[in-house]
Amino acid sequence: MTFFPDRLFDDAGAYATAYFDLYRNAAASVDAGALARAGELVGQTVAEGRAIYSCGNGGSAAIANHLACDCLKGIRTGTALRPKVFSLSTTVELITAIANDMSYEDVFSFQLSSLAQPGDLLIAISSSGSSPNIVKALTWAKDNGLRTLAMTGFSGGASASIANVSLHVQAENYGVVEDIHQSLMHLLAQYTRHRNLTDPADLGRQKF
């Protein structure tokens, strides 16, 4: 098996053409049925007043933090919904304390054990799907009555099989996988908002 890029390119334009070809194929690999179920998970969790927690490492942490913005402020705009959304990746003081005093594997599951309630939703983002702290968070969530959604790439790892819903990107390039995970985050937030607009006439009027 070869991984992109498997050759040198003459310029950034040629590289971009190949990159975006790979992106299009990877985006098309995300199962539409799984996306439908993910939309229901997010919408049901918000409608019931339950909390959404997100987590990820590295670039996936940035997506988890961005998710908290778009799924709180974004979904709320123009709707009667009041989403409760929290990123477990933004709490640097807690993360470093837990990692130092316990282990890095516990940084997300320990926070969940203090904050989460049955019926809440954990959205775990991991390109490999194999990060030990992500797998442990999903396992804890599943064992304690939370809904779970995993965004993965590469082989999907353990995360894809643990989660109630798996949004798997068939690609082996971190940039491409993270780009599509970012798009999936935007898609779920915008879809939930559009389904719940107080005035449907706002469709096509506001830049969201």
Smallest CA-to-CA distance from 187 within 54, 56, 38, 64 is with: 38
Which amino acid is present at 208? Answer: F
- Beta bridge partners of residue 166, listed in sequence order: 150
Give, for all 208 residues of the chain, the pLDDT tens digit: 678 888 999 999 999 999 999 999 999 999 999 999 999 999 999 999 999 999 999 999 999 999 999 999 999 999 999 999 999 999 999 999 999 999 999 999 999 999 999 999 999 999 999 999 999 999 999 999 999 999 999 999 999 999 999 999 999 999 999 999 999 999 999 999 999 999 877 677 665 5
Residue 150 lies in a domain: yes
pLDDT of residue 207: 58
Residue 204 lies in a domain: no
Smallest CA-to-CA distance from 55 within 115, 119, 143, 118 is with: 115
Give the Cα-Cα-Cα angle 111, 160, 180 (nearest 5 degrees): 90
Residue 205 lies in a domain: no
| Count of domains forming the chain | 1
Residue 9 lies in a domain: no
Residue 76 lies in a domain: yes
Phi-psi region of 145 (alpha: psi -120 to 50; beta: other; left: phi over 0): left
Residue 134 lies in a domain: yes
What pTM does this model have? 0.94
| Domain range for 92 | 34-197
> What CATH number does the domain containing 185 carry?
3.40.50.10490
Residue 10 lies in a domain: no
Residue 4 lies in a domain: no
